[in-house]
Amino acid sequence: MAVPPATDQEFLREVDDELRRDKLTGVWSRHGRWIVIGVLAALALLGAYLFWRNQQENAAGREGEQLQSAYDALGAGSTAEAAGPLEALTKSSSEGNRALALFTQADVLLQRNDYKGAAAKFGAIVGDDGVAPPFRDLALVRQTSAEYDTLAPQVVIDRLRPLAVPGNAYFGSAGEMVATAYLRTGRRDLAGRMFGQIARDGTVPATIRQRAVQMAGLLGVDAVVQNEDQKAR
């Protein structure tokens, strides 16, 4: 039985398939090596990323355990046992773990009345650009508090003035130290104004506001009356 001739449509399909194969063969012959290199490079990058992520997760887990063991040791009263893990964490690639370790070390030194050593730890946080600004601001406040008696009043003012403004999270603590420094420089007017602002700020901790009310009153600022007026509104 004779084989029927191919239709035009079948013929065109065969030609099209042949052309496609020729193109693919040509592309592979010209660029095949680079295609293989590109695929291998992509796979290598993917493998490196997965390895890095796994290493990061493992490191985070180990550091979390180190931090917990340090806190457990401190809770049991063993600062010596906590010293090793805390010191290791001060070199962590995680800015959060570095800051926590340094804050904890500084608190341990404060308990020993080592204000100079504690100030150095807080200063390390302040100088660490990788740490988030709120933690660096807190470290600056605590550093200044630790070495307050050794600082010239103007140094305290210049250092904390950016934080001693209403609305700042550390306004109460920073403002109190700035106001006291103003007093030490003889600027009773500026000190009274600052104490008055602190006394009238409802976001400031109650203990700091109470002290501010008393100091403002001594300096001729009627912060009690102004504070009560604000509540009545």
Do 109 and 158 reside in the same domain of the chain? no
Q: Which among 75, 109, 142 is the end of a domain?
A: 142
Number of domains making up the chain: 2
- Cβ distance 212 to 195 under 8 Å? yes
- Domain contains 6: no
pLDDT in tens, 16-37: 565 566 655 665 555 555 444 4
Do 158 and 222 reside in the same domain of the chain? yes
- Domain contains 229: yes
Q: Which among 142, 168, 184 is the end of a domain?
A: 142
Going from the C-alpha of 25 to that of each of 38, 43, 63, the distances in angstroms are 18, 24, 54
Reading the block at residue 23, the tokens are: 């193109």
Q: Which domain does 103 fall in, by range?
A: 58-142
Q: How far apart are CA 205 and CA 199, in angstroms?
A: 10
Is the torsion defined by CA of 141, 142, 147, 148 positive or negative?
positive
pTM of the model: 0.67
Q: 74: which residues sit within 8 A by CB, 6+ positions away?
A: 82, 104, 108
Do 123 and 156 reside in the same domain of the chain? no
Do 106 and 128 reside in the same domain of the chain? yes
- Domain contains 191: yes
pLDDT in tens, 156-204: 999 999 999 999 999 999 999 999 999 999 999 999 999 999 999 999 9
What is the reported pLDDT for 96? Answer: 83
Q: What is the DSSP letter of 151?
A: S
Do 131 and 90 reside in the same domain of the chain? yes
Q: In 76-222, which ranges are continuous DSSP H helix?
A: 79-89, 95-111, 115-126, 133-146, 153-160, 171-184, 188-199, 206-218
